[in-house]
Structure 1
Amino acid sequence: MAGLNSDTPTPQSLTVHGQSRVLEVSFSDGAHFRIPFELMRIYSPSAEVQGHGPGQEVLQTGKRQVQLESLEPIGNYGVQPRFSDGHDTGIFSWDYLYFLGAKQEQLWADYERRLQEAGVERDAPMAAKAAPSCGH
């Protein structure tokens, strides 16, 4: 099984480059990507980042210097990274890693657009989470 999509190429190698903060991935179809940790972190597939539906995404900031502390295999379909900011809930399937690698330019442009629309800087600290409302 390649990933969540059976047509996705499988990784032939995964190399974590801590100093340059990139995950280097080579796939069975010959594709080779260097995915920055920051890109992985801001596009984590976790509910904490993606929300639970369209329009619920949480814009991530202050992630330029994030490190990848560990990368645990999840079955035979993906990996679960633990980032230096404590984020560790996103499971990156092989097809999602391939998507991140193949669409980097588009994803960066979209991220920069969302930052501009929100009026925040890329390196701004994350805003504090609002306390849940109790309905009173």
Structure 2
Amino acid sequence: MAGLQPDTPTPTAITVHQQSRQLEVQFSDGASFRIPFELMRVYSPSAEVQGHGPGQEVLQTGKRDVGIVALEPVGNYAVQPTFSDGHDSGIYTWEYLYRLGAEQDRLWREYLERLEAAGLDRDAPMPPAAGPACGHAH
């Protein structure tokens, strides 16, 4: 995994808002974002969600009410949230959090378009995982 680019803003404060289900992140460049947990969860950088290459992504649904039950620092470059649905393998670098915050409108649109293309509803329950669908040995 590439280290931080020297010009990547770093968080100066991270606040988990359980009531509004948003992660508030303030960055060293003055930017401040409130990222919905649902957006973080459906765009989790983990292999479980992203798959092992383009087109392998697993569309996440039923995450509107997901919470964050823990947030662990990973070195000095990322955080690893544990979501209330048990998902905890996503490592969110500062760069990735910044992108989620800065591009959340576009990311929401893309997510809703992908749901529509799949004929799924945002609140559809996730089908039970049938084990790795990518054909790699794990």
TM-score by length of 2: 0.91
Shift of 1:131: 5.4
Secondary structure of 1:48's counterpart equals helix
Residue 33 of structure 1: aligned partner: 33
The code of the aligned residue for 1:85 comes to: D
- For residues 62 and 105 of structure 1, the distance between their equivalents in structure 2, rounded to whole angstroms, comes to 19
The code of the aligned residue for 1:127 comes to: P
Residue 23 of structure 2: aligned partner: 23
Alpha-carbon distance change, 14 to 131 in structure 1, aligned in 2, over 3 angstroms: closer
Gaps spanning 5+ residues in structure 1: where? none
The code of the aligned residue for 2:116 comes to: Q
Residue 82 of structure 2: aligned partner: 82
Residue-by-residue CA offset, 1:35-76 (whole Å, 9 max, x unaligned): 000000000000000001010000000000000000000000
Alpha-carbon distance change, 131 to 103 in structure 1, aligned in 2, over 3 angstroms: closer
Alignment of 1:88-99 (within 5 A): 88-99=88-99
- For residues 109 and 132 of structure 1, the distance between their equivalents in structure 2, rounded to whole angstroms, comes to 27
Alpha-carbon distance change, 24 to 120 in structure 1, aligned in 2, over 3 angstroms: same
Alignment of 1:107-122 (within 5 A): 107-122=107-122
- For residues 52 and 125 of structure 1, the distance between their equivalents in structure 2, rounded to whole angstroms, comes to 23
Shift of 1:96: 0.3
Alpha-carbon distance change, 131 to 70 in structure 1, aligned in 2, over 3 angstroms: closer
Gaps spanning 5+ residues in structure 2: where? none
How many pairs are equivalent?
Answer: 132
- For residues 4 and 121 of structure 1, the distance between their equivalents in structure 2, rounded to whole angstroms, comes to 36
